[in-house]
Chain A
């Protein structure tokens, strides 16, 4: 992983207080390129983190840099960053097209070029038919998409999206997720906050879990899960004759618990050492010629991690 600050988003001991209310506290992060999801309950500090990252808020303590640019230099920062913020409000009388084209003109494009570029971006988000209408008359999903269009219109290397899937219907949601995937490839940063955990799972290269203003976990989800030794990993094994395998595994130190399925066609195992567990299973298969149908962890997704780290907090 690169340690070049020009390729990272860095938080160094950042705290933000709103008067006496804690926003986030002592957050140190180094976010590499790729898709990073911010996950946490309401009020956990996700939006604060995003607002700090985009310069809308200033840290009370600490330093933040986005690809080597300080967040108190909006002129440089917002050439790098596109932000789809949470407020669902727009300048009065703005149409979809004027909303995006106006931003592109400020970015540096001529009026005609900005218009063309805005039309192209809006088209890519499926809003061409509504581009000339006032944004105030848009549905929630359309408003979400026009905000997204503005955020990506200047092709920023860093895209920050606060709850971008809110209000989108299932089709639009799938298309936007596909767009994010393409966007996240090729060395760009894409930071997304979301409550919809299975979509976070589908989308993210890494997650940052937040609770009550603190970062409670960060990294790729399997890595995070592996670190959680207090909660052994649950693995389901399905095979025609599970008893010999179960007998071999039950004696191993890494297996804490094992429970045969009622139908006799498999078992649940809990382990604190998944790699050791898989090695044991591999050895058994090779030595005893077992035929396995499934070996699959069942609680190494964001939902489970969220439940263990935040739900039980």
Chain B
């Protein structure tokens, strides 16, 4: 018989720097996303419109292919602001869908599993934890919004030449600014709701409500007063406005028609209102995520 005495020995190996620990949270969040078939299907679906966009741009610049196909694509579709608006618009909807699919579970699971005290007991700060979660969602939303559309813009710029790129900087600005504003907003609202509402399906309902109910109020204000100030309460319409207004000069008739007669706020007002919504979301998030929840 033998007795093997076991003693505690602290871990001696290399440690991840404090600043990099948030990425562990992001990596695990991504692993969680990847387990959902709905998520994977949505991600694949998200590549459809940009791929179509790449194809159209390619055909535009390939006379041989146009001859073979015998399609007057250059006449049917112009590569201008309206074209990029049509690419960006479904991608922004897809981002909302993705936020609905993966957003609510991000913090809810840690709350229901009472994991926060474990996270915050030693290895992580509250900010690193939240940054890790936000980064995971922002990376995902970037992958379906500005990244693929930017790719199409760069492809067109490479084929269309410097002059086209120079003339179309407003399109690039619209793609980037409206997408980043939308991503920040969705991230802050999704995480805040995920932290406040412990049940994933209900959290999804809240996200859905928060983007659609204020839009209906804004429409009602416009219906009664014929004025756009109600937009301040409707983040989804604000982003729509931003997409349009930043590439206004490059819009063809189709784009102008899509915008409709609905009045808009100026870009600074729109950005300020969106910033306020985003800040409110992050404030709500910070006030909820704590190591301990005392019940009296």
A-to-B contact residues, CB < 8 Å: 134, 136-137
Contacts and interface: CB of A to CB of B under 8 A. Distances in A.
Tell me what chain B mostly uses at the interface: helix, strand, loop, or mixed.
loop
Contacts, number: 5
A184 B88 CA distance: 71
Contacts of B1: none
B69 interface: no
B15 interface: no
A136 B295 CA distance: 7
Nearest to A135: B295
Tell me what chain A mostly uses at the interface: helix, strand, loop, or mixed.
helix
Contacts of A134: 295-296
Contacts of A136: 295
Nearest first, the 5 A-B pairs at minimum CB distance are A136-B295, A137-B295, A137-B296, A134-B295, A134-B296
A136 B296 CA distance: 8
Interface string B274-296: 00000000000000000000011
A265 to B, nearest CB: 26
A102 B296 CA distance: 21
Nearest to B296: A137
B292 to A, nearest CB: 13
A106 B151 CA distance: 64
A137 B294 CA distance: 8
A99 to B, nearest CB: 15
Nearest to B293: A136
B296 to A, nearest CB: 6
Contacts of B295: 134, 136-137
Contacts of B296: 134, 137
Contacts of A137: 295-296
Interface in B242-296: 295-296
Nearest to A134: B295
A134 B296 CA distance: 7
A184 B296 CA distance: 36
5 contacts: A134-B295, A134-B296, A136-B295, A137-B295, A137-B296
A137 B296 CA distance: 6
B117 to A, nearest CB: 16
A134 B295 CA distance: 8
A71 B296 CA distance: 38
A137 B295 CA distance: 5
B197 to A, nearest CB: 13
B214 to A, nearest CB: 28
Nearest to A133: B296
B295 to A, nearest CB: 4
B196 to A, nearest CB: 14
A312 to B, nearest CB: 21
Nearest to A137: B295
A133 B123 CA distance: 35
A135 B239 CA distance: 45
A134 B294 CA distance: 12
Interface in B43-76: none
A112 to B, nearest CB: 28
